[in-house]
Amino acid sequence: MTLTLPELPYAYDALGPYMSKETLEFHHDKHHKTYVDTANKLLEGSELEGKSLEEIVKASHGSNQPLFNNAAQHFNHLHFWNWLKPNGGGQPPAALAKKIDEDLGGYEKFKADFIQAGIGQFGSGWAWVAVKDGKLAIMKTPNGENPLVHGAKPILGVDVWEHSYYIDYRNRRPDYLKAFVENLINWEYVEKLYGEAK
List, as residue ranges, the binding site for Mn(2+).
Answer: 27, 77, 159, 163
Least Cβ distance, residue 134 to Fe ion (angstroms): 29
Count of other CB atoms within 10 angstroms of residue 176: 27
Looking at the chain, list the stretches that DSSP marks H as alpha helix, in order from N- to C-terminal side: 21-24, 33-43, 53-60, 65-82, 94-104, 107-120, 162-169, 173-179, 187-197
- In terms of Cα–Cα distance, which of 10, 197, 38 is closest to 103? 197
Least Cβ distance, residue 86 to Fe ion (angstroms): 19
DSSP 7: P
Looking at the DSSP bridge assignments, the partners of residue 131 are 136, 153
Least Cβ distance, residue 163 to Fe ion (angstroms): 5
**What is the DSSP annotation of 146-164?**
-GGGGT-EEEEEEE-SHHH
Closer to Fe ion by Cβ: residue 30 or 109: 30
Closer to Fe ion by Cβ: residue 75 or 187: 75
Which residue's CB atom is positioned nearest to Fe ion?
159
Residues annotated in a binding site? 27, 77, 159, 163
Least Cβ distance, residue 50 to Fe ion (angstroms): 26
Residues binding Fe ion (CB under 5 A): 159, 161
Closer to Fe ion by Cβ: residue 89 or 144: 144
- Residue 4's SS3 state is coil
Closer to Fe ion by Cβ: residue 72 or 136: 72
Instruction: Find the Cα–Cα–Cα–Cα dihedral 54, 57, 61, 66, rounded to 10°.
Output: 170
Using CA atoms, how far apart are residues 57 and 61, in angstroms rounded to an integer? Answer: 6
Closer to Fe ion by Cβ: residue 60 or 164: 164
Least Cβ distance, residue 157 to Fe ion (angstroms): 10
